[in-house]
Structure 1
């Protein structure tokens, strides 16, 4: 039985804006604890886990969420809970094997990101995608959403396995047109004008490659910096984050619920 104090906390969280929950470590932890840890073994024999959140109404379309370079922390787990509230079977995957960098330790985050084996990550995401498509609560529709490091992997996953919609938050998109032809569904990208990493040159080339591959791409620019949608960081932009979130929900509803 859930203790009275915790029930009251969860009831209070339900009425709070997403940004408020994410910005408060105590609230984010409480929301993250509403997810269920699930584990599978990939075809290559790797045991991998993720945080699952289910909607009230089922069956429902599914979303595969991919974390930032910090790892599968409470913020991303909370996003899974929020997507479930929006009517999706949401799974936040873990590409770091349970390791998480502290929010102020960029060196640790960089080390974790650099340690990822691309082939293993691709196999992991492909396996989770299949798991979601065939989940008992799934309609069979699948989208991917990723932030920063996860933004690039949102695109990579959609190239590796059939996905109905792909959302990229300021992730690396330097892929050739011969790779992009494998995309099944449309792509939505959120990018920042002051981002020194994912800049206009990269996005311009991505737009060119997508056009050559004859694939659907919707790009939005925000007068903001990298990681503008992360309320726990110093570069958070409340207005732009809210607009990007609205656009994401509209895009996913159009392609997964229609």
Structure 2
């Protein structure tokens, strides 16, 4: 897998974003140029599981950057505000995501065709940013729907979304999202995997060990078979639109 490089995204942060922002970059092999993807991490931050998702994107041929939305203040200080931003459409995290997009567009080895992919909390950000004009395609994986999906997703870029049928945190989210996107005429591929739960794209259980019993109750955990199918859909969709 491609190596991960820690980068400084602070010079690219617009007004209202983090004063200090780091990111994680993975480059495909070769000389490029490549399409870019901004990856938005789950609620547990830019952990090893998320970094392997960034590596996978690079392996698939994308210049991938994951901004650490918890850079300024750490996970516990930033978590509540970041979660609120994911649902409200306002907050520092959006400027930080914009910084990662600007960083990619400024690189000579990027084609300037940029996508966004998010997991869990990050999937919510992928949906919230899909209509803001920065991205050519979005991938939302078990991300919460916007509070006002019809207003938020009007004019959105093409969206590929994956949910688990055993996900007790987001019951029925796939069907609701598909209905909204159909109504708005947004190009999309939305799929629910009946045997999968929340976080099924992860290659191992993320989060504190103390919470593992609760995760089982809530239907949270890896599902390799569903993950392989979802990644095939994501890579095919991005291959078409990026």
Asked if these proteins are the same fold (TM beyond 0.5), I'd say yes
- Please state whether the residue corresponding to 2:204 is helix, strand or coil: coil
User: Which residue of the partner structure matches residue 39 of structure 1?
Assistant: 9
Tell me the equivalent position of 2:22: 49
What is the CA distance between 1:138 and its match in structure 2? Answer: 0.8
Aligned residue for 2:124, secondary structure, equals: helix
Q: Specify the SS of the correspondent of 2:163.
A: strand
- Select the residue among 113, 122, 128 that pairs with 1:156: 128
Counterpart Cα distance in 1 of 2:237 and 2:163: 16
Aligned residue number for residue 19 of structure 1: none
Match of 2:52 among 52, 56, 78: 78
Which residue is 1:178 aligned to? 151
1:194 maps to 166
- How far off is 1:204 after superposition? 2.9
Matched, 1:62 2:28: no
User: In 1, distance between residues paired with 2:27 and 2:177?
Assistant: 34
1:246 counterpart = 2:232: yes
Q: Is the 8 A contact 1:122 1:160 kept in 2?
A: no
TM-score, normalisation: structure 2? 0.81
Report if aligned partners of 2:39, 2:64 keep a CA contact under 8 Å in 1.
yes
Q: Quote the offset at 1:161 in angstroms.
A: 3.3
Going from structure 1 to structure 2, the CA distance change for 1:34 and 1:97 (only over 3 Å counts) comes to closer
Q: Alpha-carbon deviation of 1:144?
A: 0.7
Higher Rg? 1
Deviation at 1:122, TM superposition (A): 1.2
Match of 1:205 among 176, 183, 202: 176
> What is the deviation of 1:98?
6.2
1:243–1:73 CA distance, 2 compared to 1 (3 A): same
Greater RCO (CA < 8 Å, at least 6 residues apart) = 2
Does residue 221 of structure 1 match 2:192?
yes
Q: Which moved more, 1:152-161 or 1:55-64?
A: 152-161
In structure 2, runs of 5+ residues without a counterpart are 86-90, 206-215
Deviation at 1:130, TM superposition (A): 2.5
Return the alpha-carbon distance in structure 2 between the equivalents of residues 139 and 169 of structure 1: 25
How far did 1:86 drift?
Answer: 1.7
Separation in 2 of the partners of 1:248 and 1:78?
16
Alignment partners' CA distance in 2, 1:127 and 1:112:
18
- The C-alpha deviation readout for 1:30-75, integer Å capped at 9, x for no partner, is x7x6323232242216332210111223111000001110001122
Where does structure 1 differ by over 6 angstroms across 4 or more consecutive aligned residues? 98-101
Cα separation, 2, equivalents of 1:215 and 1:70: 30
Matching of residue 115 in structure 1 with residue 85 in structure 2: no
